[in-house]
Amino acid sequence: MFQLDLVGIGMGNPDHLTQAAITALQSADLILVPHKGESKTLLSDLRMAICQKYLGSTSHVIGFEQPPRDPKIADYLTRVEAWHDGTAQIWSSLLKEHLPKGGRAALLIWGDPSLYDSSLRIADRLQTRFDQIDVSVYPGLTAIQLLTAAHRIRLNTLGAPVMISTGRQLVKNGFPNESDTLVVMLDGELAFQTLAPDPFDIWWGAYLGMKEEILIKGRLKDVSALISEQRVKARQKYGWIMDTYLLRRVLTSDH
């Protein structure tokens, strides 16, 4: 019998973990930490630091190489599905190797496992690879919560809906007509630059809740270039970047 815990850890700050998440890590027989190449070693280092703080030891923490998405697969969804399959195979092999008689394993997930994260889809694939495996989710602080807290703003205007989407969808569909507020995640290409900037305000943040945190806000037309410049500098300095932003249509009155 295997138990797999997907543990949300916020944006890398050890103080982001809930007590339930800490208890799950302390109960694990095995903790899996992915590595994503030399340029992103800080990401795995942060996970190891969290384990060291709450476990006091990393003797049962196992690192593994996260497979990249295959750039030769042109279709985006097909490429992601293939990546999920490959990652599931690695998780399966590690569980069988290090827990041959079964046991409890944990994966530290950035933000929350339920919000634009692949871990639950990958875990679903394990159901066909094991006779018995249960999956539990321990929610974590999301980038959205940390962004609004850092900027001290409300997520929604009064009585109005909020849409959460990706940079890819913003480029494809533009700003949604159904909402005045759009939170954009997974945007590696600064999709807001495809919008006519005059009607929008933006609140942008990178490395949210960490000592490296960068925050920029203002009318999109005034700060778009600054965000782009700061993003390039931060990626060069740290080798990786996690950023999120909220766009809001400029309203005639303050809600």
> How far is the C-alpha of 245 from the C-alpha of 239, rounded, in Å?
20
Question: Chain centroid to CA 173: how far?
Answer: 23
Per-residue pLDDT band at 94 (split at 50, 70, 90): very high
Q: 226 φ, ψ to 5°?
A: -65, -45
Q: What is the pLDDT of residues 6-63, one digit of tens each?
A: 999 999 889 999 999 999 999 999 999 887 655 556 777 888 889 889 988 778 899 8
Domains with residue ranges and CATH for the chain:
2-138 (3.40.1010.10), 143-249 (3.30.950.10)
Give the model's pLDDT for residue 166.
96
Q: pTM for this structure?
A: 0.89
CB of 69 within 8 A of CB of 118? no
> How far is the C-alpha of 222 from the C-alpha of 205, rounded, in Å?
16
Which of 213, 188, 186, 191 minimizes the C-alpha distance to 202?
Answer: 191
Question: Chain centroid to CA 73: how far?
Answer: 23
